[in-house]
Amino acid sequence: MYSANVCTLKMKYAVALLIVTVLATVASGAVIQGIRRSNLSQGYVYPGDRLLSRHYLSQPARPNTIQYQDYTYRGNYSTRISAVTATEVGYTQYASAWVIAGGVGYSSVTVRVQSAKGYGYNFVIDVWGR
């Protein structure tokens, strides 16, 4: 009787652990897909680097909708990007930004910004390099 109870408890514990693991996996998957709120910061600004581009992207909230937009900076043949940042301006709207092409070490970069469902976004995207 007693040991049977312990066994049931252990099983419940194992099932609970399993559920937590599955939830954690789903959550980290969400981060990769850019559903979680986040700023973008890739690379480092070195002495001698210049701000090659500063660009603002914003959209007002739209009910029940996830909105996204891509911004591309294209340098010339000698451009080397050293850092790319996208920072939410003002109060957070739980938006995300990530690099979908090029980036640090390349001459061009494409950044995608995406709103949370039912929210808008307001980002400033900076590209540094030389």
Ligand X SMILES: *[C@@H]1O[C@H](CO)[C@@H](O)[C@H](O)[C@H]1NC(C)=O
The residues binding ligand X (CB under 6 A) are: 37-39, 52, 75-76, 78-79, 87-88, 92, 129-130
Q: How far apart are CB 111 and ligand X at their closest, in Å?
A: 14
**Pick 15 or 31: Cβ nearer ligand X:** 31
Closest residue to bound ligand X by CB? 79
Q: How far apart are CB 48 and ligand X at their closest, in Å?
A: 11
Q: How far apart are CB 59 and ligand X at their closest, in Å?
A: 17
**Pick 3 or 78: Cβ nearer ligand X:** 78
How far is it, in rounded angstroms, from Cα 69 to Cα 75? 20
Q: Which two tokens stand for residue 83?
A: 């850092």
How far is it, in rounded angstroms, from Cα 103 to Cα 128? 10
**Pick 2 or 77: Cβ nearer ligand X:** 77
Strand order in the sheet with 108-114: 68-74, 108-114, 96-102
